[in-house]
Structure 1
Amino acid sequence: MKRSAPPPVWTRPTGYALKQDPVSGVERADLAIVGGGFLGLSAALHAARRGLSVRVVEAGRVGDGASGLNGGQVIPGLKLEPEQIIERFGPARGERLVGFVSTLADRVFETIAREQLDVDHARNGWIYACHTRAALDFAAERDRQWRGLGADVSLLDRAEIARLTGAEGYLGGWIDRRGGVINPLAFISELARVCAAAGVRIAENERAAALRREGGGWRIALNSGGEIQTPMVIVGANAYSDGLIPGLARSIVPLHSFQIATAPLAPEQLAAALPGGQSVSDSRRIVIYYRRTADGRLALGGRGSMAEPTAEADWAHLDRALGRLYPALTGTTIERRWFGRVAMTPDHLPHVHEPETGLVTAVGCQGRGVGLMTALGPELVDYLVDRDRERLPFPLSPIRPIPLHGFRALGVAAAIAWYRTLDALER
């Protein structure tokens, strides 16, 4: 993420200040973590509590990447539904994975409560809003599967979704009351604070330049000239992955998620827009997602261009979506426009890799990064320390670079444009 990128609507906690702790010379640690996002810092905190010495290096400031730039939706589950997960991974692994992903939101809200984090949050549910009959059928199947596992979920008819969202154009939907919203920048900032208090050493503006195996451990060379020697490494860069792990960046397609936030709305406008405070993702091919903020704004996001934006017009598709959903808000001042980078995998599933012993990474959040990466960090630490593959929620998989990766990215860009056209025709 470029430092000149427009800032999000999210703010850090009042008085936030992370002590600067640059790497000096050659340092040693039990665990080194590249990337100070949800994955890296949740792993670091868990490792420190297990008694490990931990060094985190972050290329920018904590929160500069996707962890501070996302929409703050906390969503349980995966893109695949429980029965699909079990079919794909087999009964034993599949059932464990379903159990893991059912608790993704729990991990976030329990962390906020346990660590007493200063984070605006609400656990009022996540809504899947349906604009077609086919989407309603999908929601009914999703409801059947999750309700059968005891999840607090239910279908919504046309009147119910209109009442809960205040938006126009939906035929019905589905609500998962396990979900909710947070201020993601405050959450990642507070994770950094409690990590530092637990003894984790965090170096900001410290880019890892090279990673090499040496003897029974690893050496991480930094752009600053410093070096970290460690037996275990977690790389948590996700869509910001570069050449540190061969082939990793070419195994994902990086996309940009664009977002806008209105000026604070008047009381009568707030009463009509998401009065219950739920977050929403709709059923369009190019998903539109939205929520209210703690200071009374409406924040709305969706996929943008493959290139980084250069003008306000690059967010015009979100302005149009806002007007379509909430005609009464047409002309409302948009005070913030920002974007972040996300990673798409070909099978729409997260991938966990161990290219060499003692080096692990995870990529591909598929819109569920807040809960997924917060929950996955401690699991990776336990695997590195205990070496029990069966305890990992996701199986380790080889890194598979996408053939003709550059052309695949162009194809995704063309598909986004085509899907947006189809969505517009469906209203």
Structure 2
Amino acid sequence: MTPLHFSQPLWRRPPRALFAGEPISSPERVDLTVIGGGLQGLSTAYAAARRGLSVRVIEARELGEGASGLNGGQVIAGLKQDPDWLMQHFGQARGSALVDFAAGAADAVFDLIQTEGLDVEHVRSGWIQAAHTPAALVAAEERNRQWRARGADVMLLNGAEVALLTGASGYLGGWLDRRGGTIDPLAFVFELARLATQSGARIATATRAIGLRREGADWLVDTSAGYPVRSRSVVVATNAYSDRLVAGLARSLLPLHSFQIATAPLPPDLRETILPHGQAVSDSRRIVVYYRKSPDGRLVFGGRGRMAEPKNETDWDHLQRAMLRLFPALEGVTIEHRWFGRVAMTPDQLPHVHEPERGLLAVAGCQGRGVGLMTALGPRLVDYIQGGDPAALPLPLTPIRPIPFHSLRALGVGVAIAWYRMLDGMEG
């Protein structure tokens, strides 16, 4: 999503980025076409190119202009659902594989940064899920029990410990998952693109995939460049930016806007008391707020925004009010950056993997965990493309199920967000 004139993301591409795009200047034939140049698409392209496949990535915008480059940079292990629920829902074999995959999602990001020496600012000091009600604290206790039983480096926090680690007021306790952390998401996008191109993948930006059809054993992707790309396999990695390219995909998702603000660099006294150890935080409210510190000492604060694109700076005011409720000492601190990106929610709050026809894969629905999830998923998609064994995928292949009365459902989500935000405010 191209930032509006008053929308100023904090993140910056790495100064030494060696990514160079290659436009589509003639008809092409490759092993794999990836539609979408976000984290999922680039992770898949990199994994495939490293294994010797010829890869073409088609990105409708410039790199980093979607949610992959505009998110809060929180790297979180696990899924929305706890391990026991996943085991019960998917069965022993599939559930266990999915829990193991989700547990390692943050590792996929930080290990890649370390082993490849990526120019990505990062801190791995954990992720805190802060509880603001007794019911949320009970849920945190249960989550802690389940992950500790599986050997995860996690711990339960009381109210005083959450206050000490976050500097925020009003929490009863919470849960610390030391597997998590933070990164600069835009830098990570560009470094993934660099790895992919250095491995042989070709990336065309500002190029739309405008048609997708089967021709014999191949797929033909028509592009806005005027030339088609033919391949045996296609991965549609468009997530919240999905359109009519794959029938029903966009209508199976509920798009939401994630809004974020960043303060001016905090003065030394506040920098020492607000997130002094650099953890990322999400809370337990119905409309979750999340926050972290940037490498230059700003507080970055995010949450759900209006369903339509923002029209002026006041559309971020609800975030500033929420920030001051948690951090009253920030009264008077300047907000220097405001930005937003589009994310996709699935009705069951699980990521979905689809194969509507053989050789055509689509994945959507990150539920706030896209940085780790989509980075880790790329190599597994390539495993399936090369071997054809569904067990290579951490999630089962499911049919695309458009949401009935999709446009009305999206409108209802907007009304629910406003209602839940009011309830959250009443709870403090």
Coarse TM-score class (shorter-chain normalised): over 0.9
3-state DSSP of counterpart to 1:188: helix
Question: Which whole-Å CA distance do the structure 1 matches of 2:72 and 2:390 have between them?
Answer: 32
Check if 1:37 corresponds to 2:38: yes
Q: Report what 1:66 is aligned to.
A: 67
User: Percent identity among equivalent residues?
Assistant: 61
What's the counterpart of residue 347 of structure 1?
348
SS of the aligned residue for 2:315 comes to helix
Residue pair 1:258, 1:338 contacting (<8 A) in 2 also? yes
- Aligned equivalent of 1:100: 101
**Contact 2:21–2:202 (Cα < 8 Å) also in 1:** no
Secondary structure of the 2:194 match is: helix
Task: State the match for 2:50 in structure 1.
Answer: 49
Question: What's the counterpart of residue 120 of structure 1?
Answer: 121
Residues 223-269 of structure 1, C-alpha deviations (whole Å, 9 max, x = no match): 12111000000010100001110000000000000000001111111
Match of 2:214, SS? strand
TM-score by length of 1: 0.99
Say whether 1:382 aligns with 2:383: yes
Q: Who is 1:277 aligned against?
A: 278
Q: How does 1:345-424 map to 2 (within 5 A)?
A: 345-424=346-425
Please say if 1:236 is aligned against 2:243: no
2:26 paired with 1:4: no
- TM-score, normalised to structure 2's length? 0.99
8 Å contact kept, 2:13–2:187: yes
1:145 counterpart residue number: 146
Match for 2:4: what amino acid? S
Partner Cα separation in structure 1 for residue 140 and residue 257 of structure 2: 27
| 3-state SS of 2:81 partner | coil
Query: Within 1, Cα distance between the matches of 2:199 and 2:267?
Result: 42
Correspondences of 1:54-203 after superposition (within 5 Å) = 54-203=55-204
Q: C-alpha offsets along residues 127-171 of structure 1, whole Å, 9 cap, x if unaligned?
A: 000110000000000000000000000110111011000001101
8 Å CA contact retained: 1:322, 1:330: no
Matching residue's letter, 2:33: A
**Contact kept in structure 1, 2:286 and 2:421, CA below 8 Å:** yes
Instruction: Decide whether the 8 Å contact of 1:8 with 1:338 is kept in 2.
Output: yes
Query: How far, CA to CA, are the matches of 2:23 and 2:4 in structure 1?
Result: 23
- Structure 2 contact 19–191 (Cα < 8 Å) conserved: no
Q: Does the 8 Å contact 2:30/2:231 carry over to 1?
A: yes
Amino acid at match of 1:115: E
Aligned counterpart, 1:245: 246
Partner of 2:20: 19
- Whether the aligned pair in 1 keeps the contact of 2:34 and 2:45 (CA below 8 Å) is yes
Provide the C-alpha distance between the structure 2 equivalents of 1:294 and 1:393, rounded to a whole number of angstroms.
33
In structure 2, the residue corresponding to 1:232 is in which secondary structure? Answer: strand
- Alignment-mate amino acid for residue 173 of structure 2: G
Q: Render the CA deviation track for 1:178-225: whole Å, top value 9, x for unaligned.
A: 000000000011011111111111111111101111110100000121
Farther off after superposition, 115-124 or 20-29: 20-29
Gaps in structure 1 of 5+ consecutive residues = none
Q: CA separation in 1, counterparts of 2:211 and 2:72?
A: 32
What is the root-mean-square deviation of aligned Cα atoms in Å? 0.8
For this pair of structures, how many residues does the alignment match? 427
The residue aligned with 2:216 is 215
Q: 1:57-88 deviations in whole A, cap 9, x for unaligned?
A: 11111111111000000000011100000000
| Counterpart in the other structure of 2:257 | 256
CA distance in 1, matches of 2:66, 2:394: 25
Letter in structure 1 aligned against 2:332: G
Deviation (angstroms), 1:401 = 0.2
**TM superposition shift of 1:16:** 2.7
